[in-house]
Amino acid sequence: MNQPRRGRGGRARLLFVCIENSNRSQMAEAFARMIGGDRVEAHSAGSRPSGRINPRAVESMREAGYDLSAHRSKPLEEIPSGQYDVVVSMGCGDACPSVPARLREEWDIPDPRNLPPEEFRKVRDTIRAKVEDLLARLAGDG
């Protein structure tokens, strides 16, 4: 796989996109910030944002040690402009507009919105594992 070069002073610019920007992409952004720290500049957005973060996502991330309540659901038009090192699409399919990126990934992760709590946590943990893998690959590129 082609590895991206790092942008902005060695910090990897990451963007996580899903449809509503209320669950999956928000959790991915949070994990990137938690795990990557000052090595990453993480953002998330939705192709058709819901305008709110799912309270179940807030609770699920609280269990993981992150306060998602300060986040908000936002459209792609509100993300910082410029090229990203990695853009991860999380189920927006054809509705996902093009954002300049050195590397694109599609993560086939189910929308946890209507899942029971234990299944919601499994999706959260899958997202965490995928973010950890992405950051490890980026660290190997530095």
**Marked catalytic residue, from 27, 53, 88, 96:** 96
How far apart CA 140 and CA 17 sit, in angstroms, is 24
Angle at 114 between CA 55 and CA 44, to 5 degrees: 55
- The reply to whether 92 belongs to the active site is yes
**Marked catalytic residue, from 18, 58, 131, 138:** 18
pLDDT per residue over 65-83, tens digit each? 999 999 999 999 999 999 9
- The reply to whether 18 belongs to the active site is yes
Domain ranges of the chain: 12-137
Angle at 99 between CA 41 and CA 108, to 5 degrees: 80
How far apart CA 87 and CA 95 sit, in angstroms, is 14
pLDDT per residue over 8-41, tens digit each? 567 999 999 998 999 999 999 999 999 999 999 9
pTM metric for this prediction: 0.90
- Under CATH, which architecture does the 12-137 domain have? 3-Layer(aba) Sandwich (3.40)
pLDDT band of residue 99 (cuts 50, 70, 90) is: confident
**Marked catalytic residue, from 19, 28, 86, 92:** 92
